[in-house]
Amino acid sequence: MNLPAPSVVVSREAGAGTATVEPKTPSRRTGDVLLAVDQISLAFGGVKALSDVTFDVVEHEVRAIIGPNGAGKSSMLNVINGVYRPQRGRIRYRGREWRGMDPHTAAASGIARTFQNIALFKGMSVLDNIMTGRNLKMKASFVEQAFWYGRARREELANRAKVEEIVDFLEIQHIRRTPVGRLPYGLQKRVELARALAAEPALLLLDEPMAGMNVEEKQDMCRFILDVNEQYGTTIVLIEHDMGVVMDLSDRVVVLDYGRKIGDGEPSVIRNDRAVIEAYLGAARD
């Protein structure tokens, strides 16, 4: 039994609840290796979250990480972006090598991410949340800000303009002053994406950006992700469970299971890989 084939437009029988978009055109920009993780092993006490995982991400591509629940996908993103420090292994990013970055270095080197369980600042408005994404671009000291003159004022207005571009891009103008805590789940996810984009990242890590969305919302989100990749050239690493989305959006796929890598390649190849099928669907039973 194969995993659902990438289909064009709407085809509900193939997989109930999967969203589909136009498949990616083969002629797309790719480049050198932007990120390479090498034999990453991460354990929490006795629990091994990741074991010897190695893969790379090429510039401008969309890389999907898939796998059953508990496979270590979020942990992998957390390692890349410095939230967890692996016990073994190295990370090579933009020519530099680390055992584990700290989150600030990761953010400053152009890595941004969204989270599975929305990590927005519930006490602030949408606009303020997205503006926090620009904090690394703002250099004025607090004294200058206290007097609202010169550099502080200029920076604030310039960054506001950039943020408004993103607001337009993601079509959230109507909620810009709403406190984030009041928004429905789908919009919150979009705001989180906006905050990540505000940092103008070179590498964007998305942790289940479409979880809990209905078909329409998923289609919108897919469109946004594709646009981000095509317009801004942002490299994207994406964790996703919806196979249709994965097959349509991504250039290459990494498959994790129980913390190990069990597949790595183009979607069409992964789709037919036996180890992957068994991990997801279990061995055939009579």
Partner 1 sequence: MLYREAGQFKSSYAADSAILPIRQDRIGLAIILAIAFVVIPLAASPYLFSAILIPTLILALAALGLNILTGYAGQLSLGAAAFMAVGAFASYNFVLRVPGIPLLLAFAGGGVMAAAVGIVFGLPSLRIRGFYLAVATLAAQFFIVWCLTKIGWITNYNSSGVITAQRMQIAGITFDTPQEKYLLVLTIVALMALAAKNMARGNIGRQWMAIRDMDVAAEVIGIRLMRAKLLAFAVSSFYCGVAGALFAYAYLGTVEPEAYSLDLSFRILFMIIIGGLGTVLGAFLGSAFIVIVPILLSVAVEFLDNTLHLGVPSSVGSNLQLMVFGGLIIFFLIVEPFGLARIWQITKEKLRLWPFPH
Partner 2 sequence: MLSFVFEVAIGGLLSGVMYSLVALGFVLIYKASGVFNFAQGSLVFFAALTFVGLTEHGLSFPVALLVTLVVMVIAGLLIERLVLRPLVNQPQISLFMATIGLSFFIEGLAQLVWGANVRGLDLGIQDEPIAWIADRTGVNVSKFDLMAAAIAAVLVTGLGLFFSRTRIGRALRAVADDHQAALAVGIPLQQIWGIVWAVAGLVALVAGMLWGARNGVQFALTFVALKALPVLILGGFESIAGAIVGGLIVGCTEKLAEVFIGPHVGGGIEGWFPYVLALAFLLVRPEGLFGEKIIRRI
For partner 1, the binding residues (CB under 8 A) are: 81-83, 103-104, 106-108, 112-113, 115, 119-124, 128, 131-133, 135-136, 138, 140, 142, 145-148, 152-153, 155-157, 160-161, 164, 195, 199
User: Which helix H or strand E contains 51, and what residues bound it?
Assistant: strand 47-58
Q: What pairing do the DSSP bridges indicate for beta strands 88-93 and 33-44?
A: antiparallel
Instruction: Decide if residue 115 touches partner 2 (CB under 8 A).
Output: yes
3-state secondary structure of 190: helix
User: For residues 58 and 140, which CB has a smaller minimum distance to partner 1 in the complex?
Assistant: 140
Q: Which stretch binds partner 2 (CB under 8 A): 111-119, 125-133, 183-191, 276-284?
A: 111-119
Please state the φ and ψ torsions of residue 224, each to the nearest 5 degrees.
-60, -45
CA 120, CA 116: separation in Å to the nearest integer? 11
Q: Which stretch binds partner 2 (CB under 8 A): 112-120, 126-134, 154-162, 268-276?
A: 112-120
**Number of residues binding to partner 2, judged by CB under 8 A:** 5
Least distance to partner 1, CB of residue 118, Å: 9
CA 75, CA 193: separation in Å to the nearest integer? 19
Both tokens of 200, joined, read 């103008």
Least distance to partner 2, CB of residue 178, Å: 21
Least distance to partner 1, CB of residue 268, Å: 34
Least distance to partner 2, CB of residue 71, Å: 16
3-state secondary structure of 141: coil
R_g of the chain computed on alpha carbons: 20
Both tokens of 126, joined, read 């949408």
SS3 content of the chain, % helix, strand, coil (to 5): 35, 25, 40
Instruction: Decide if residue 83 touches partner 2 (CB under 8 A).
Output: yes
Both tokens of 281, joined, read 């669907």
CA 263, CA 246: separation in Å to the nearest integer? 14
3-state secondary structure of 170: coil
Least distance to partner 1, CB of residue 128, Å: 6
Least distance to partner 2, CB of residue 79, Å: 13
Q: Which stretch binds partner 2 (CB under 8 A): 113-121, 145-153, 190-198, 217-225?
A: 113-121
CA 99, CA 87: separation in Å to the nearest integer? 8
User: For residues 192 and 248, which CB has a smaller minimum distance to partner 1 in the complex?
Assistant: 192
Query: What are the residues whose beta carbons fall under 8 Å from the beta carbon of 1, sequence distance 6 or more?
Result: 277, 281
Least distance to partner 1, CB of residue 176, Å: 10
User: For residues 14 and 211, which CB has a smaller minimum distance to partner 1 in the complex?
Assistant: 211
Both tokens of 24, joined, read 């990616």
Q: Which stretch binds partner 2 (CB under 8 A): 114-122, 157-165, 198-206, 208-216?
A: 114-122
User: For residues 75 and 235, which CB has a smaller minimum distance to partner 2 in the complex?
Assistant: 75
Residues lying near partner 2 in the complex (CB under 8 A) = 78, 83, 115, 117, 119
